[in-house]
Amino acid sequence: MAETTEFELVSPDRLLISEPVEMVVVPGVEGDFGVLPRHAPMLSTVRPGVIDIHEGGKVRTRLFVAGGFAEVTEERCTVLAEEAFDLEGVSGEKARERLQSARDDLAEADDEFAKGRAAKAVGVAEALVAAVGG
């Protein structure tokens, strides 16, 4: 059996995953980074994108995150995500609908705070569309 590191994905609602993994690839703001057992400790901001969990040299699970933070130690990788879910049940159509809704909200935003929030939602939705290939 391959050596593993503990991976935890936490959203504001709940703990989504807590399991040993061979490798996890996280979308950091400065680029994707892979975490293997005995990784050097680090902290990173997470951009909207896909977390890939690898097993046996292949991607076993793909999870979408809307951003957040990651902490890596020699034994563990913890991602605190603003929003996270399994990509398996997301269609290209649903992703495009989310993007259109976010763009509509941006067009209707009437103050700088609302515009900033809507622009961020557009960025997340664009990343989701890219993730599902829609």
Domain-ending residue, one of 87, 107, 122: 87
Provide the residue range defining the domain that includes 107: 91-132
Same-domain pairing of 50 and 11: yes
pTM of the full predicted structure? Answer: 0.91
How many folded domains does the chain comprise?
Answer: 2
Same-domain pairing of 82 and 116: no
pLDDT tens track of the chain, all 134 residues? 579 999 999 999 899 999 999 999 999 999 999 999 999 999 999 999 999 999 998 999 999 999 999 999 999 999 999 999 999 989 999 999 999 999 999 999 999 999 999 999 999 999 999 999 86
Catalogue the E-assigned strands of the chain: 5-10, 15-21, 23-28, 31-35, 42-46, 49-55, 58-65, 68-72, 76-81, 84-86
Q: Which CATH number is 51's domain given?
A: 2.60.15.10
Same-domain pairing of 52 and 69: yes
